[in-house]
Amino acid sequence: MGRKARSRDESRVARRESRERAFRARLLRWFRRHGRDLPWRLTRDPYQVLVSEVMLQQTQVSRVAEYYPRFLSAFPTLRHLAQAPARAVREEWDGLGYYRRAANLHALARRVVEDHDGIIPRDRQTLRSLPGIGRYTAGAVMSFAYEQAEPAVDTNVGRVIRRAFHPRARKDARGEQKIWETAERLLPAAGPRAWTFNQAIMELGALVCTSREARCGMCPVAPLCSTGRRIG
């Protein structure tokens, strides 16, 4: 690569980094004022975090907020869940739908007791070998329970990053990979700040940049967003 091309490349990376820094700062500021006090945001207990994450797949926040404390009072720890009969787990899950999630959670609890001494693993590879744990849930447990600087791209986060940074990315594996890479670059290096960032970007996708409507007029990152700038 010639000198000119190298310097063009460096200034492109510098511009990208400065935009990502500004995006992060604006989002964190907004979340401090507007983030909701959801019950699973008050805990770092890996079991409780995992239960909330599994419930939040395909179920609305308001419904999960109702079932989450009930489920935890029926099965306060991973060992309680592992020892429970399938029928009891099903009963507590009734009303949340997609029962397969509860069956996976139950199988996971048993596996963790058997193979990991009852301690939910903290590394991506082991987490992903457990029943029902995909790329997102592994990242969510690592970030929300263990406060590791790990991206967690669910539907909300993916939508925000796509609209903000990659509006033309295809909806295929390569496009998804691009979004995960941006999520990783956006993440603060310190685990507790990464926890807040992951919660914040999820919240933006749930409250402002929703699937039904992009409310760019009230969005804190609009000046830095490819879609928001176009609309605004």
Q: How far is the CB of 201 from ligand SF4 (least distance, A)?
A: 9
Q: How far is the CB of 142 from ligand SF4 (least distance, A)?
A: 25
Residue 214 main-chain phi, psi, to 5 deg: -95, 110
Angstrom distance (rounded) from CA 48 to CA 74: 12
Q: How far apart are the first and last CA of the chain?
A: 38
Q: Give the footprint of ligand SF4 on this chain (CB under 6 A).
A: 160, 163-164, 208-209, 214-216, 219, 221-222, 225, 227-228
Kindly tell me which of 127 and 160 has the beta carbon lying closer to ligand SF4. Answer: 160
How many CB atoms within 10 Å of residue 141?
A: 25
The 10 Å CB-count burial string (b at 16+, else e) for 28-59 is bebbeeebeebebbeeeebbbbbbbbbbbbeb
Q: How far is the CB of 168 from ligand SF4 (least distance, A)?
A: 14
- Looking at residue 65, its amino acid is A
Kindly tell me which of 25 and 88 has the beta carbon lying closer to ligand SF4. Answer: 25
The residue among 18, 25, 22 whose CA lies nearest residue 197 is 25
Angstrom distance (rounded) from CA 121 to CA 138: 10
Kindly tell me which of 95 and 217 has the beta carbon lying closer to ligand SF4. Answer: 217
Kindly tell me which of 142 and 160 has the beta carbon lying closer to ligand SF4. Answer: 160
The residue among 150, 160, 183 whose CA lies nearest residue 49 is 150
Kindly tell me which of 101 and 159 has the beta carbon lying closer to ligand SF4. Answer: 159
Q: How far is the CB of 218 from ligand SF4 (least distance, A)?
A: 8
The answer to whether 231 touches 216, Cβ cutoff 8 Å, is yes
Q: How far is the CB of 164 from ligand SF4 (least distance, A)?
A: 5
Residue nearest to ligand SF4 (CB): 228
Can 181 be counted among the known catalytic residues?
A: no
Catalytic residue among 10, 17, 20, 53: 53
Catalytic residues: 53
